[in-house]
Amino acid sequence: MRRRLADVSGPARLAAPGEGLGQDELALAARNHGLPLEALRYDVTPPGLHYVLTHYDIPAVPDDDSWRLTVSGRVRRPLSLSPGELRARPAVVVRTTMECAGNGRALLSPRPVSQPWLVEAVGTADWTGVPLRRLLDEAGVAPGAVDVVFTGADHGVERGVEQDYRRALALDVATGDDPEILVAYAMNGAPLPPQHGSPLRLVVPGWYGMAQVKWLRDVEVSDSPFTGFQQSVAYRIRRTPGETGEPVTLIAPRALLIPPGCPDFMSRTRVVGPGPVPLEGRAWSGRAPVTSVEVSADGGRTWEAAGLEPDHGRRWAWRRWTFVWSATPGAHVLSARAHDAAGHSQPLEQAWNRGGFANNAVQRVPALCLDPDGG
Amino acid sequence: MRRRLADVSGPARLAAPGEGLGQDELALAARNHGLPLEALRYDVTPPGLHYVLTHYDIPAVPDDDSWRLTVSGRVRRPLSLSPGELRARPAVVVRTTMECAGNGRALLSPRPVSQPWLVEAVGTADWTGVPLRRLLDEAGVAPGAVDVVFTGADHGVERGVEQDYRRALALDVATGDDPEILVAYAMNGAPLPPQHGSPLRLVVPGWYGMAQVKWLRDVEVSDSPFTGFQQSVAYRIRRTPGETGEPVTLIAPRALLIPPGCPDFMSRTRVVGPGPVPLEGRAWSGRAPVTSVEVSADGGRTWEAAGLEPDHGRRWAWRRWTFVWSATPGAHVLSARAHDAAGHSQPLEQAWNRGGFANNAVQRVPALCLDPDGG
């Protein structure tokens, strides 16, 4: 009997109605993690609280400066750079909110079986690095180039295909400055942690996480459109398995609130007292600047405007918002929703897709307000 | 209708046969996280990869030095110390492997419904702090003291009981030096991250995680045995709900291996080629020093001795072990098991308990070895 990758690597599937999470989904949830929502209180997410998704394994990386980033393909002067050589170049720092393309997946019905995020796959960091367009300038893009392909050092099998993690950007995006794309070597002023791509990663502000290639080892300029697994098979918006689908690109608007009061350990339901309860949270959109945030305390039936802090010149970072909720005894569902300058808003019910991508349906936070004597 | 905490905070329960994970378990898994097993390669776990379990919320903590740790109760000279005052005292660094008492819970059948760990709730750090016994000396323990109670700033509801997180140690343990217990303010040489107890936490080497009180704000010497929720209700080994049960204390021996080869994204099954495959991992026990590690490649039917590195004088840290597996084409299950100097070993099947505590059944890593031509 021949052993085939298909023996351990099945096709994508949807959970059956009422099917609880399986051990495969749990194995992903136990090693990857979201932002504990109370950590929305920090402008910049502290180490270890930023969401992490690793497709395969975190690669072992040499301690010294022997890592090489190559710039190859349709260029006049191929480059081979150590992290030290990159750090010697002029640096840019960009504060960026990143979100996993699969955020919200486990709330969909039927549930696509994959990393089971609820709403917490987000984080904000100050990334330091060299603008990608400068490196491409230095290498000299040759005529005929159409895509730039990024290869990470993480290696594994997915839906039967053994692969290095690899994604591409169109040449105009890769050589553009809006957003300014970085080959980053530092996160919040410190060298990248292993799980965030040490020693080098791509940072593409405004795009979902699949574009932010970690453990970056090659940038290849290509004269044909990239059709690799993570571009053509995964990360497409599809309703049926057969269709080509639309690529997942820029982050859809989302607001999240810090669950108020205190939690029940198991149900995570919030417990608050009656009276004014300050609410706060963050809002972001990769598609256009956030223009307003609204809050609902009745599960989305009625909405009121929240106060929205200025963006402080940081287009790609989340913005803080505040609201005061007048809590009355009883069971409530708290939500916030963001609107952006391009007219995008968050839906109450998500338009379903097979991969569970770009799900920005509004968060629902159950809260019990006790009677005035403390319940 | 009165609103009661019981409306949102149910009793402990077991999953029904075949019941998949629920959204409550997922909400815990999404915010807490284990050690990605490939990170067993690091002697000291890098920031953000050490397991984290937070019962309630990570508390908001002032940026300045206004936090106070009080030493109160049956003492002659009550103390009130800022983190800065603690840092001014003689410090000790202890490299400690910590493991959650609930590690392995989601592998039990029936499954206790709580934080659903597989095997990865572990990590090793260099903790810097002041020995607890020095602080208790300074405060002067009064006659009649029996327990020392530690209160954290995290606050929530559990099984209907609103509480600050609170645990106790017997006086002889708290004032002993084996293990040396720390009031720690640094992890791996940096200030504690928020999720690891910033600004101060207890570190009790060799004990499961429930003893390692984070966000420590009070140490109270008591003349009566502590009967709080986390001591008398939670963290007991029970087979029926009614029994008193045995307290969860020292970490049972465990070995884990770094899954070899590369993973399938969804099944996490490992793919390797035929021939010699180097295996390595870590082993630890809070009960007594690890004396040997064995490896099985046939699901626990046969075992061979692994090479065990010396402990380098670090009693409370995990020890590295190595083995070379001769892989042959086919499906295999890899396991390792640790033995300690007190005669404790890891079972192949866990003795079940209602809380899912102290489960040290051997890890099972499915691996597919491809045919020589690459499958």
Q: For position A364, what pLDDT does the model report?
A: 98
What is the identity of the amino acid at A53?
Answer: L
Nearest residue in chain B measured CA to CA from A367 = B8
Quickly list DSSP for B126-165.
EEEEEEHHHHHHHH-BPTT--EEEEEEEEEEEETTEEEEE
Q: What angle do CA B76, B77, B83 make, to 5 degrees?
A: 140
Please report residues of A whose CB lies closer than 8 A to that of B33. Answer: 30-33, 52
User: Which helix (H) or strand (E) element contains residue B330?
Assistant: strand B330-340
Q: For position A374, what pLDDT does the model report?
A: 55
Interface contact A60-B41, CB threshold 8 A: yes
B26 has pLDDT over 60: yes
Residues 6+ apart with CB under 8 A from B127: B93, B94, B95, B96, B182, B184, B186, B187, B203
Q: For position B372, what pLDDT does the model report?
A: 86
Q: Which CATH superfamily is domain B5-247 in?
A: Oxidoreductase, molybdopterin-binding domain (3.90.420.10)
Cis-peptide, bond into residue A179, ω within 30° of zero: yes
Q: For position B84, what pLDDT does the model report?
A: 98
The residue ranges of every structural domain in chain B are: 5-247, 254-369
- CA distance, residue A320 to nearest chain B CA (Å): 16
SS3 B105: helix
Mutation target vs B (from A56, A230, A264, A328; most B CBs, 10 A cutoff): A264
Alpha-carbon span A343 to A346, nearest angstrom: 10
Alpha-carbon span B54 to B165, nearest angstrom: 10
Q: How many CA atoms lie within 13 A of A318 on its CB side?
A: 29
Q: Which two tokens stand for residue B289?
A: 């020093």
SS3 B25: helix
Q: For position B21, what pLDDT does the model report?
A: 94
Nearest residue in chain B measured CA to CA from A5 = B375
Quickly list H helices, chain A.
23-31, 83-87, 132-139, 171-174
Q: Which two tokens stand for residue A157?
A: 């099998």
B375 has pLDDT over 60: no
Q: For position B189, what pLDDT does the model report?
A: 97
Interface contact B370-A3, CB threshold 8 A: yes
Interface contact A26-B31, CB threshold 8 A: no
pTM: 0.97
Interface contact A58-B47, CB threshold 8 A: no
- CA distance, residue B146 to nearest chain A CA (Å): 29
B23 has pLDDT over 70: yes
Interface contact B57-A155, CB threshold 8 A: no
Statement: A254-369 belongs to CATH 2.60.40.650: yes
A122 has pLDDT over 60: yes
| Nearest by CB: B8 against A29, A39, A267 | A267
| Nearest by CB: B2 against A32, A48, A371 | A371
Quickly list DSSP for B251-275.
PPPEEEEPPPSEEBTTT--EEE-SE
Size of interface A-B (CB pairs under 8 A): 238
Among B231, B190, B301, which residue's Cα sits nearest to residue A191?
B190
Please report residues of A whose CB lies closer than 8 A to that of B234. Answer: none
For chain B, what percentages of helix, strand and coil (3-state, to nearest 5) are there? Answer: 15, 35, 50
Share of chain A above pLDDT 70, in %: 99
Interface contact B271-A41, CB threshold 8 A: no
Q: Which two tokens stand for residue A120?
A: 């917490």
Q: For position B6, what pLDDT does the model report?
A: 87
The region that residue B215 occupies, defined by phi over 0 for left and psi between -120 and 50 for alpha, beta otherwise, is left
A329 has pLDDT over 80: yes
Quickly list H helices, chain B.
23-31, 83-87, 132-139, 171-174
- CA distance, residue B293 to nearest chain A CA (Å): 24
Q: For position B77, what pLDDT does the model report?
A: 98
Residues 6+ apart with CB under 8 A from A248: A101, A208, A210, A235, A236, A237, A355, A357, A358
Q: For position A372, what pLDDT does the model report?
A: 86
- Phi then psi for B26, rounded to 5 degrees? -65, -40
**Span A347-375, mean pLDDT?**
92
Please report residues of B whose CB lies closer than 8 A to that of A8. Answer: 264, 267, 269, 271, 366, 368
- CA distance, residue B317 to nearest chain A CA (Å): 21
Mutation target vs A (from B41, B42, B44, B157; most A CBs, 10 A cutoff): B157
Alpha-carbon span B108 to B239, nearest angstrom: 13
Alpha-carbon span A205 to B367, nearest angstrom: 38
Interface contact A57-B41, CB threshold 8 A: no
Please report residues of A whose CB lies closer than 8 A to that of B269. Answer: 8-9
Mean pLDDT over the full length of chain B: 96
| Nearest by CB: A5 against B26, B42, B271 | B271
At A139-157, the pLDDT tens digits run: 999 999 999 999 999 999 9
- Pairing between strand A69-73 and A216-222? parallel
Share of chain B above pLDDT 70, in %: 99
Alpha-carbon span A86 to A184, nearest angstrom: 9
B101 has pLDDT over 70: yes
Alpha-carbon span A116 to B52, nearest angstrom: 18
- CA distance, residue B220 to nearest chain A CA (Å): 24
Interface contact B5-A41, CB threshold 8 A: no
Cis-peptide, bond into residue B372, ω within 30° of zero: no
**Span A239-256, mean pLDDT?**
96
* Higher-scoring residue by pLDDT: B374, B347: B347
Q: For position B1, what pLDDT does the model report?
A: 64
| Band of pLDDT at residue A80, cut at 50, 70 and 90 | very high
- CA distance, residue A342 to nearest chain B CA (Å): 31
Mutation target vs A (from B1, B5, B8; most A CBs, 10 A cutoff): B8
How far, CA to CA in Å, does A72 sit from each of A76, A91, A141?
Answer: 9, 22, 10
* Residue where the block lists tokens 């609930």: B102
Quickly list DSSP for A234-290.
SSEE-SSTTS--EEP-BPPPEEEEPPPSEEBTTT--EEE-SEEEEEEEEEE-SSS-E
Q: Which two tokens stand for residue A328?
A: 């009355």
Burial classification of residue B168, based on how many CB atoms lie within 10 Å of its CB (0-12 exposed, 13-18 middle, 19 or more buried)? buried
Alpha-carbon span B352 to B346, nearest angstrom: 14
Q: For position B374, what pLDDT does the model report?
A: 55
- CA distance, residue B213 to nearest chain A CA (Å): 16
**Span B339-368, mean pLDDT?**
97
State how far Cα A242 lies from the chain centre: 26
Q: Which two tokens stand for residue B300?
A: 């626990």
Quickly list DSSP for A160-214.
TEEEEEEEEEEHHHHT-BTTB-EEEEEETTEEPPGGGTTT-EEE-TTB-GGGS-S
Q: For position A155, what pLDDT does the model report?
A: 98
How far, CA to CA in Å, does A286 sit from each of A53, A173, A209, A339?
Answer: 19, 14, 11, 12
Please report residues of A whose CB lies closer than 8 A to that of B114. Answer: 266
- Pairing between strand B365-369 and B270-272? parallel
- CA distance, residue B212 to nearest chain A CA (Å): 18
B296 beta partners: B335
Alpha-carbon span B249 to B85, nearest angstrom: 31
At B218-258, the pLDDT tens digits run: 999 999 999 999 999 999 999 998 899 999 999 999 999 99
| Band of pLDDT at residue A1, cut at 50, 70 and 90 | low
Residues 6+ apart with CB under 8 A from B167: B149, B150, B210, B211, B213, B226, B228, B230, B231
Interface contact B49-A195, CB threshold 8 A: yes
Interface contact A54-B31, CB threshold 8 A: no
Q: For position A3, what pLDDT does the model report?
A: 81
* Residue where the block lists tokens 């949830």: A29
- CA distance, residue B47 to nearest chain A CA (Å): 6
Residues 6+ apart with CB under 8 A from B41: A60, B258, B280
Interface contact B8-A41, CB threshold 8 A: no
At B307-329, the pLDDT tens digits run: 999 999 999 999 999 999 999 99
Nearest residue in chain A measured CA to CA from B121 = A30
Please report residues of A whose CB lies closer than 8 A to that of B34. Answer: 30-31
User: Which helix (H) or strand (E) element contains residue B203?
Assistant: strand B201-203
Interface contact B27-A118, CB threshold 8 A: yes
Interface contact A58-B39, CB threshold 8 A: yes
At A6-20, the pLDDT tens digits run: 889 999 999 999 899
Q: For position A4, what pLDDT does the model report?
A: 87
**Span B35-45, mean pLDDT?**
98
A23-31 and B23-31 helices cross at what angle (nearest 10)?
30
User: Which helix (H) or strand (E) element contains residue B93?
Assistant: strand B92-99
Quickly list DSSP for A274-285.
SEEEEEEEEEE-
Among B87, B264, B55, which residue's Cα sits nearest to residue B182?
B87
Nearest residue in chain B measured CA to CA from A330 = B3
* Higher-scoring residue by pLDDT: A18, A215: A215
Please report residues of A whose CB lies closer than 8 A to that of B156. Answer: 262-265
**Span A341-358, mean pLDDT?**
96
Going A76 to A82 to A85 to A91, the CA torsion angle's sign is positive
> With contact defined as beta carbons under 8 Å apart, do B24 and A265 qualify?
no
